[in-house]
Structure 1
Amino acid sequence: MKFKLNHKSNISLHVQTEELLRKILDDPEYDNGKLLPNEVDLAKQLAISRTTLRQAISKLVYEGLLTRKKGVGTKKASRSVSSKSRNWLSFTQEMEARGIPIKNFELHISWVFPEEPVAGFFGIGTETKVLKMIRLRGTTAGPIVYFISYFHPRIGLSGDEDFKRPLYDILETDYGYRAELSKEEISARAADKFIAEKLEVEVNSPIFFRKRFVYDQADRPIEYNLGYYKADSFTYTLESRRESQ
């Protein structure tokens, strides 16, 4: 496909480039992960500098329309996962509710001595081992979230459960612990080298960090969860209603 800009226009080249990229993304052939034209070739074809092209690409990356991976290329961003603060679900349930197939990239189970924050939340000593589960999850387009979960030993998890099933379904159906309440802390942070490699983003890229404290139907703590989300693949929606006076 041949692309060009109007170099005689009063509209700046980087703005024209942004609009051109948006038109390119409207082409259905880019819906399935096809890479955009190589930066060097596209800049040459448009007769602009790579700096101008990158400025336009960065704008669309910021808007969540493009994803860029070093050494691979730039492609159309897959639709993001949206999580609401009310009627919250497990990651599996969130994805299934949106018709997005899930892919599990990693699953690690171990028994560990909890650090103070985890032990304090569970109300146990640091000498009592808890089940720790690490999961790297996403879609066929790539990883979206890196989870670290700790579970209260009272639940009775063995570590041999089929964790391809929704987590909270396992807790309720197999062990009688219904996840009834979730308290969450959300912040933005830069990806360190470890998380960047897991989520396949560049070091210092923005990510969402969510700390979730989950309680059962008797308000007893059952899960302490840390989630590192790829920022361009996740939207967190808050919903509140004003109470009548």
Structure 2
Amino acid sequence: MPRTGDPSRAVPGPAPDALDFTLDRGSPVPLYHQLAQQLEAAIEHGGLAPGDLLGNEIDLSARLGLSRPTVRQAIRSLVDKGLLVRRRGVGTQVVHSQVKRPLELSSLYDDLESAGQEPATHVVRNERVPAAADVAAALGMPEGAEVTLLERLRSTHGQPLAHLRNYLPPALPEFDTARLEATGLYRLLRAAGVTLHSARQTIGARSATPEEAALLAERTGAALLTMRRTAYDDTGRAVEYGTHVYRASRYAFDFRLLVRP
């Protein structure tokens, strides 16, 4: 089995049938695109797990009965999506599947954990600050009033995924950094007796600033998804205002649309 780094540690490989793909050579869909789609599906559904080694282009070409340019183009498209990485002297390795989050009032931490994505949190700031105009308007308080700012970096499988800023009104309890790094904010709010009821949310997109790129291991100008959310409890009180950015290469919102009768 191929090895890298520590010679005593084996690099995992895919299950024997994980690369048993069926490609339609008579289809108008290019073979590289068919291969990329099936590789992506195998990653998303767990047939190919993070860390699995696919081998180099020569190995894959021989195994799949395809030309090297076809395999190279398929791999390049998944490297661009952040699902695969090329490692010198090792070959192509699975990094992770893209996180697809349902569009509902839920915690990112809870969604990642339920999807087996191994969430981890680093608290950058946990302090009282004066509310800027947008924060004050969202929380229904005077501009300049004191609020709690929680700034966190959320990662999965050791890779940064999201930069989160959440603002809490002073009436809510303070949460220490250790608890914030051990679990999700909404769990802590529920444990403190807050009943989350509804939210207003806006989703957008923009390019990464140099500071965001450094935090999220992206290049400056890379695509980021943005989210602004104000959450309310069962009395209609605003209990949290969040401004979040997510790596578009690793994250997507997933929701159903119904036709109005």
Q: TM-score surpassing 0.5?
A: yes
Q: Structure 2 regions of 5+ residues with no counterpart?
A: 1-29, 58-66
Match in the other structure for 2:96: 78
Q: Does 1:201 align with 2:193?
A: no
**CA deviation after TM superposition for structure 1 residue 170, in Å:** 1.4
Match in the other structure for 1:171: 189
**CA deviation after TM superposition for structure 1 residue 147, in Å:** 0.3
Q: Secondary structure at the match of 1:112?
A: strand
Match in the other structure for 2:162: 145
Higher RCO (CA < 8 A, seq sep 6+): 1
- Confirm or deny: 8 A CA contact 1:57 1:66 kept in the other structure: no
**CA deviation after TM superposition for structure 1 residue 32, in Å:** 3.3
Match in the other structure for 1:116: 133
Q: Structure 1 regions of 5+ residues with no counterpart?
A: 1-14, 40-45
**Same amino acid, percent of matched pairs:** 22
Q: CA 1:99 to 1:59, structure 2 compared with 1: closer, same or farther past 3 Å? A: closer
Q: What residue identity is the alignment partner of 1:84?
A: P
Q: Secondary structure at the match of 2:171?
A: helix
**CA deviation after TM superposition for structure 1 residue 123, in Å:** 1.8
**CA deviation after TM superposition for structure 1 residue 194, in Å:** 0.7
CA distance in 1, matches of 2:118, 2:125: 21
Residue-pair matches, total: 229
- Confirm or deny: 8 A CA contact 2:55 2:93 kept in the other structure: no
What do the CA deviations read for 1:150-203 (whole angstroms, capped 9, x no partner)? 0011223254671122311211222x2112112111111111111111110111
Q: Secondary structure at the match of 1:137?
A: strand
Q: Does 1:60 align with 2:86?
A: no
What do the CA deviations read for 1:65-123 (whole angstroms, capped 9, x no partner)? 63569x9x97534112222123x310111012212211224442111111100011112
Q: Does 1:235 align with 2:244?
A: no
| 1:94 counterpart (111, 115, 130) | 111
CA distance in 2, matches of 1:229, 1:19: 28
- Give the TM-score taking structure 2 as reference length: 0.69
Q: Secondary structure at the match of 1:171?
A: helix
**CA deviation after TM superposition for structure 1 residue 47, in Å:** 9.1
